[in-house]
Amino acid sequence: MSLDGSQSQFDYNDRYGIRPQRAWIPYALSFLVIGSAWIIWAGLHHAEPAISADLIAFNNQDPRKIEIRYIVTRRDPSRTATCIISARDINKVIVGQIFDEIPASQGAIERTATIPSRGDAVNAGVNSCHLN
């Protein structure tokens, strides 16, 4: 009982600063909502990239000049693009690399390029593409 006459329940939890057992639930729910929104946004944003390239085939009959065929798809066909394509040797070391400029065009475009190499190339691939 206090000196001013008010009646209050004595609580050891208040006295010693013990918090309720489920204090983490609001934090977990807020993290869940924000995390779920970010996962949904990331999945939708990266589902259709601005530009993508797919390897069709490569021909390495002449190991010093490897020929590659690939297809480029853009979301905005009015923009030009640049793709970095490279040739690799048996140890996966890049022995030849070129920048292939792709003009603006409608729809997907199939490209053929020849990569000169300083060593014997065994395969080729598209490293990356970006819009200009």
Residue 5 lies in a domain: no
- List pLDDT tens digits, range 73-127: 888 888 889 999 999 999 999 999 999 998 888 888 898 999 999 988 898 999 9
Instruction: Kindly report the pTM of this predicted structure.
Output: 0.66
Domain total for the chain?
A: 2
**Residues in a beta bridge with 21:** none
Better-scored residue on pLDDT, 117 or 21: 117
pLDDT in tens, 1-16: 455 555 678 888 778 8
Exposure of 19 in the CB half-sphere (CA atoms within 13 A): 5
Q: What is the pLDDT of residue 4?
A: 58
Residue 45 carries which side chain, given as an amino acid letter? H
How many CB atoms lie under 10 A from the CB of residue 87?
A: 30
- Please check whether residue 129 is in contact with residue 81, taking contact to mean a CB–CB distance below 8 angstroms: yes
- Same domain for 43 and 62, yes or no, is no
Could you tell me whether strands 51-59 and 109-116 are parallel, antiparallel, or unpaired per DSSP bridges? unpaired
Please list the residues that pair with 59 across neighbouring strands.
67
- Residues 81 and 105 grouped into a single domain: yes
Residue 1 lies in a domain: no
Residues 6+ apart with CB under 8 A from 132: 79, 80, 81, 82
Question: Does 2 fall in a domain?
Answer: no
Distances (CA, A) of 1 to 8, 21, 86: 7, 28, 84
